[in-house]
A and B are shown apart, each in its own frame.
Chain A
Amino acid sequence: MEHVFDHVTPYIGYVYPNETDVPWSQLIVIYPYITGLVAGAFVISSLYHVFNIKSFAPVSRFALLTALCFMIFAPTPLLFHLGQPTRAFNAVITPHWTSAMAAFGYVAGFYLCLLLLETWFAFRADIVAMSKVKTGIMGKVYGVLTLGSDDVSPHALAIDHKFARILSMIGIPSAMGLHGYVGFVFGSLKTREWWSSDLMPVIFLLSAVASGVGLLIVLYVIVSKFRKTPIIDETMRGLLYVLFAGITIVMVIEALELLEIFYKAREGVDTVKALIAGPIWVGMAIQWIMSVFVLAVTSGLLIFEVHGKRLVNWLFLCGLAIMVGVLAMRWNVVIGGQELSKTMKGLLTFYPEVFGRESLFVVGVISVCPYITLWLVTKLLPPWADGKKAVV
């Protein structure tokens, strides 16, 4: 008898029999999380490239590489989740355009190409220089990466700069589109009360930017410690401003979303309340405690004009907190939405698998991959402009 209940998601109240098999698991939690980090990192990169905000110059190329490395792995959780991963390209070959999901291949593919192109333009001068200096196999690799274009005259560099800037400009709406679109995938489903909200794309987008900034703060601090290079105060202040703006707007909109659900109090609102107090209360607690922490600390850092080592330490904590908070928020949305039964008369409690195709182990591996890739890519294309002015 026992094995009957092995794969059944436990529930209370009444849920449709087919609902006890939760369709979207923790892999779908990290998919919007990873694309969100991409969007956030890209925004920081663009703040320098497009808006020419000088304080972001030291991290702009690193932010670009971060966006690229995370984007490479954004579709991986989806592939692991598909029942027939070898057919994944069916959605690209014969897209069914009424489906929000049909656009994913195109949106993600376009954005990935754009990131590759922008990276190439931003690093071309370095690649050319390396191809001249390095010998052996690495010399050949850099030679290939130049794509035969080794002109580094001021005129050519100006063209590079122009192209990188244009690509970055196209990249902003693309990054927004990519992530707003992920919000639409959830928000457009009328079936699920917890998802079906017009604010969903906005919430996804803004929390994405906030988490991406958090990621960049964390990485910048850690990398600088390892490289034993000074952390530039102006850059940290800049990241602080963006983080403060991001967290403020996210919290307001998320609070409005909850308020609307409770205020409208449509049929089944009691089940929604039970969902928050029950299956996802840990996630909700993490999300809101982290958000309040980040809001409080960033406000404090702004009010007291904190600089130097204290700024670095506190902002580093904020970066970690926002990353954890947004991950919890993704869980609350993706898993919480499915824990609230379509009958509105029952609640499921999802327990993730630890090993297997769709498991926490796979999630862990996929989550680590972008960091390793980023480490390798920064070896290949060092993004830091120590001592010299940023090239692009």
Chain B
Amino acid sequence: MTTPDTQVEQDRAVMSRRNFLGFLGKGVACAGALVGAGGAVGAVVSERGNRAFQQNDEQYAEAVNNPPQVPDYNWNDHKWAIGVDTDRCIGCLRCMEACKMENSVQMDANHHRTWVERYVYLEGSNTAIVDSQSDPKNIENTGSETKFRFDNRYRNVKVDKAFFVPKLCNQCEHPSCVQVCPTGATFKAKDGPVLIDTTYCIGCQYCVQACPYGARSFNESRGTVDKCNWCYHRITKGLNPACVEVCPTGTRIFGDRNDPESPVSLFIRNNHVQVLKPEMGNAPNVFYKGTDKEVV
């Protein structure tokens, strides 16, 4: 076992969410640590029994009522974007587990801020078979509703083509979720991300209906809607979103489009990129390289 792994094992019992990400933030992002992080997700859940999310209610209330102040951040100076290089994705799902840890997303298979889809063309077929980590067969394979893995169901068949597509909120330029929110609890920040004021959301779920990408989910425990915000609490402090941070292959590229030399600006300039469901008119801010006609 490698040193980072041992470290994670020792810290497991006391490791808080913040420590864990601080630990990652210090740059110990080698593959060993990432496997350790996957283990940590299971550990937190088993400690808390059936608790659906990692922050307890007091911590959540504290975070909502006293949001951290970021004095040096001006949202007019940034225009965040994410690039996804699907050719690089290996479907390891570290992004999803890191997201669930970082953002206290419900651990079950029906609530995700980010997820990964697998597209498989069997030999001679013109259409792809699609599944995600939430597919019942995949869950059955891991034997746990909190540990997600893709199973190896195509082991014995001939596959023409297969690839993974990571999904997350597109933080659209014209977000239909914001359009339909009756209270204005969800809004588009000047720097791009669409945020939710969970102290003002009435839980009508109209936004869940309106999102063309299925990016929103409803947190039954809190009675409000939940969505990916590209880890707004991290990016405003100069950090990467958790999913970008943990990706072992560099599939997800994050950056500021106002900076022409940022990773995402370079990614968009140097590649042929496309967005999902352009016909919806939402003008997404996640740019995909290497997707396919079948990608939804």
Smallest CB separation, A238 vs chain B (Å): 39
Taking the complex as formed, is B43 at the interface, i.e. its CB lies under 8 A from any CB of chain A? no
Taking the complex as formed, is B25 at the interface, i.e. its CB lies under 8 A from any CB of chain A? no
Q: Hey, what's the 0/1 contact readout for B34-55 against A, CB within 8 Å counting as 1? A: 0000000000000000000000
Chain A residues within an 8 Å CB radius of B212: 190-191, 342
B209–A23 CB distance below 8 A: yes
Find the A residue at minimum CB distance from B115: A17
Find the A residue at minimum CB distance from B202: A87
Taking the complex as formed, is A82 at the interface, i.e. its CB lies under 8 A from any CB of chain B? yes
Chain A residues within an 8 Å CB radius of B167: 16
Taking the complex as formed, is A189 at the interface, i.e. its CB lies under 8 A from any CB of chain B? yes
A18–B111 CB distance below 8 A: yes
* Given the contacts A8-B110, A96-B181, A17 and B145 also touching, CB distance less than 8 Å: no
CA distance A227 to B222 in the complex (A): 50
Taking the complex as formed, is B285 at the interface, i.e. its CB lies under 8 A from any CB of chain A? no
B136–A5 CB distance below 8 A: yes
Instruction: Identify which of B130, B178, B202, B280 contacts A83 (C-beta below 8 A).
Output: B202
Chain A residues within an 8 Å CB radius of B117: 14
Chain B residues within an 8 Å CB radius of A78: 204
CA distance A24 to B202 in the complex (A): 14
Q: Hey, what's the 0/1 contact readout for B205-221 against A, CB within 8 Å counting as 1? A: 11011111111111110
Chain B residues within an 8 Å CB radius of A343: 130, 214, 296
CA distance A98 to B145 in the complex (A): 38
CA distance A84 to B201 in the complex (A): 7
Taking the complex as formed, is A131 at the interface, i.e. its CB lies under 8 A from any CB of chain B? no
Residues from 47 to 84 in A contacting B, C-beta threshold 8 Å: 78, 81-84
B210–A189 CB distance below 8 A: yes
B203–A84 CB distance below 8 A: yes
Instruction: Identify which of B180, B181, B215 contacts A18 (C-beta below 8 A).
Output: B215
A24–B112 CB distance below 8 A: no
Taking the complex as formed, is B200 at the interface, i.e. its CB lies under 8 A from any CB of chain A? yes
* Given the contacts A1-B143, A23-B205, A102-B182, A18 and B217 also touching, CB distance less than 8 Å: yes
CA distance A99 to B224 in the complex (A): 17
Taking the complex as formed, is B125 at the interface, i.e. its CB lies under 8 A from any CB of chain A? no
A83–B210 CB distance below 8 A: no
Chain B residues within an 8 Å CB radius of A94: 183-184
* Given the contacts A8-B109, A21-B217, A21-B218, A81 and B204 also touching, CB distance less than 8 Å: yes
Residues from 170 to 195 in A contacting B, C-beta threshold 8 Å: 185, 189-192
Find the B residue at minimum CB distance from A90: B183
CA distance A342 to B216 in the complex (A): 12
Instruction: Identify which of A85, A98, A104, A189 contacts B209 (C-beta below 8 A).
Output: A189
Find the B residue at minimum CB distance from A6: B108
Taking the complex as formed, is B22 at the interface, i.e. its CB lies under 8 A from any CB of chain A? no
B202–A18 CB distance below 8 A: no
Taking the complex as formed, is B139 at the interface, i.e. its CB lies under 8 A from any CB of chain A? yes
Q: How large is the interface on B (under 10, 10 to 19, 20 to 34, 35 or more residues)?
A: 35 or more
Find the A residue at minimum CB distance from B183: A90
A-B residue pair count with CB separations less than 8 angstroms: 147
Instruction: Identify which of A3, A90, A104 contacts B185 (C-beta below 8 A).
Output: A90
B209–A83 CB distance below 8 A: no
Taking the complex as formed, is B132 at the interface, i.e. its CB lies under 8 A from any CB of chain A? yes
B180–A189 CB distance below 8 A: yes
Instruction: Identify which of B143, B182, B208, B209 contacts A91 (C-beta below 8 A).
Output: B182
Taking the complex as formed, is A254 at the interface, i.e. its CB lies under 8 A from any CB of chain B? no
Chain B residues within an 8 Å CB radius of A99: 179-182, 206
Find the B residue at minimum CB distance from A21: B110
Taking the complex as formed, is A282 at the interface, i.e. its CB lies under 8 A from any CB of chain B? no
Smallest CB separation, A32 vs chain B (Å): 14
Chain B residues within an 8 Å CB radius of A368: none
* Given the contacts A18-B217, A19-B214, A191-B280, A101 and B134 also touching, CB distance less than 8 Å: no
Taking the complex as formed, is B131 at the interface, i.e. its CB lies under 8 A from any CB of chain A? yes
Chain A residues within an 8 Å CB radius of B115: 16-17
Q: Hey, what's the 0/1 contact readout for A15-51 against B, CB within 8 Å counting as 1? A: 1111111011000000000000000000000000000
Instruction: Identify which of A15, A98, A338 contacts B179 (C-beta below 8 A).
Output: A98
CA distance A88 to B201 in the complex (A): 9
Smallest CB separation, A23 vs chain B (Å): 4
Instruction: Identify which of B200, B225, B296 contacts A90 (C-beta below 8 A).
Output: B200
Q: Hey, what's the 0/1 contact readout for A295-328 against B, CB within 8 Å counting as 1? A: 0000000000000000000000000000000000
Instruction: Identify which of B209, B213, B222 contacts A16 (C-beta below 8 A).
Output: B213
CA distance A5 to B134 in the complex (A): 11
Chain A residues within an 8 Å CB radius of B185: 90
Residues from 41 to 87 in B contacting A, C-beta threshold 8 Å: none
CA distance A340 to B192 in the complex (A): 30
* Given the contacts A83-B218, A84-B203, A191-B176, A96 and B110 also touching, CB distance less than 8 Å: no
Chain B residues within an 8 Å CB radius of A96: 181-184
Interface residues of B (CB under 8 A from A): 108-112, 115, 117, 130-134, 136, 139-140, 143, 145, 167, 176, 178-185, 200-206, 208-220, 222-225, 280-281, 296
Shortest beta-carbon contacts, A-B, top 7: A83-B203, A16-B214, A83-B223, A14-B130, A96-B184, A17-B134, A101-B182
Cross-chain pairs A/B with CB under 8 angstroms, 9 sampled: A8-B136, A16-B213, A21-B218, A91-B202, A99-B182, A101-B206, A189-B209, A343-B296, A344-B296
List 7 extra interface pairs beyond A8-B109, A94-B184, A98-B180, CB under 8 A: A7-B108, A14-B117, A14-B296, A18-B215, A82-B223, A87-B183, A104-B182
